[in-house]
């Protein structure tokens, strides 16, 4: 492993921790993207899109809120299970998967987004509080407040996209999921697995590759909008 610089404090590889050599960090992201360490509140930026998705109106929402807002079909700030279902249908998922996704997602996420402590049988997900639904064992690309962390997004590819620098094979995706697991975080493992498998299912290309652009697009929800347009 070549040394990054004469200064060992800038090294990203520790010989005694071989995993740091296997899973690489992009050490020059700042050459292509200003302030890559700074989480962006409203734009899913990367080195190819330093201003985020062209033409996308954030409507003042965080990147995580934009991800979820696609499913708020009537834009009243609440995602009910039937809206999750309609959103899933709109991006081309079949009846069975859409039904299962609607029940499971709203069951899993509703409660933590409510303002009070009484659960609602209608399983509403409040877009305003969606950051409270964050779980562990994820990529950390959304920060705790629902912003988008460009350096974390970049790590998905610098660490795991070995065969093609801007896409993940199914094997590489599974390696990432295994690697992201936090200790004993069984719920987080299941959530992450479901999110990424679903993404792979809707966005892989003919060769089975999950492209960087599809992944970036899922974060700000623009992928969902594209899939809906393509079907219409």
End-to-end CA distance of the chain: 50
The reply to whether 68 sits near ligand HEM by the rule CB under 6 A is yes
The reply to whether 76 sits near Ca ion by the rule CB under 5 A is yes
Distance, CA of 225 to CA of 210 (rounded, Å): 17
**Cα angle 49-54-55, degrees, rounded to a multiple of 5:** 160
| Span interacting with ligand HEM, options 38-46, 47-55, 116-124, 193-201, rule CB under 6 A | 193-201
**Cα angle 38-43-46, degrees, rounded to a multiple of 5:** 70
* Least separation in angstroms between CB 128 and Ca ion: 12
Task: Please name every residue paired with 78 in a beta bridge, in sequence order, or none if there are none.
Answer: 126
Among 44, 63, 90, 109, binds ligand HEM (CB under 6 A): 109
Among 22, 78, 190, 193, binds Ca ion (CB under 5 A): 78
Tokens read off for 209 = 């590759």
Residues 121-160: x where in contact with ligand HEM by CB under 6 A, - otherwise, as a string: ----x----x--xxx--xx-xx------------------
Among 46, 72, 138, 220, binds Ca ion (CB under 5 A): 72
Residue by residue, what is the 3-state secondary structure of 135-174? CCCCCCCECCCCCECHHHHHHHHHHHCCCCCCEECHHHHH
The reply to whether 154 sits near Ca ion by the rule CB under 5 A is no
Summarize as ranges the residues that interact with ligand HEM (CB under 6 A): 64, 67-68, 71, 79, 84, 88, 105, 109, 125, 130, 133-135, 138-139, 141-142, 192, 195-196, 198-199, 202, 218
């Amino acid at each position: 492993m070549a040394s990054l610089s004469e200064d060992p404090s800038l090294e990203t590889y520790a010989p005694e921790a071989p995993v740091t050599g296997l899973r690489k960090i992009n050490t020059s992201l700042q050459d292509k993207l200003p302030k890559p360490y700074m989480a962006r509140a409203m734009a899913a930026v990367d080195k190819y899109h330093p201003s985020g998705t062209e033409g996308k109106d954030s409507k003042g929402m965080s990147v995580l809120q934009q991800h979820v807002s696609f499913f708020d079909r009537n834009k009243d700030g609440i995602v009910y299970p039937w809206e999750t279902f309609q959103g899933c249908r709109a991006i081309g998922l079949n009846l069975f998967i859409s039904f299962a996704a609607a029940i499971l997602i709203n069951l899993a996420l509703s409660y933590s987004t409510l303002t009070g402590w009484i659960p609602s049988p209608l399983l509403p997900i409040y877009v305003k509080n969606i950051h409270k639904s964050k779980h562990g064992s994820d990529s950390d690309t959304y920060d705790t407040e629902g912003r988008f962390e460009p350096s974390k997004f970049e790590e998905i590819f610098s660490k795991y996209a070995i065969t093609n620098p801007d896409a993940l094979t199914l094997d590489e995706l599974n390696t990432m999921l295994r690697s992201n697991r936090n200790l004993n975080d069984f719920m987080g493992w299941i959530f992450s697995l479901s999110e990424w498998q679903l993404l792979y299912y809707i966005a892989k290309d003919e060769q089975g590759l999950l492209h960087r652009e599809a992944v970036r697009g899922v974060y700000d929800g623009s992928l969902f909008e594209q899939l809906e347009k393509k079907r219409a």
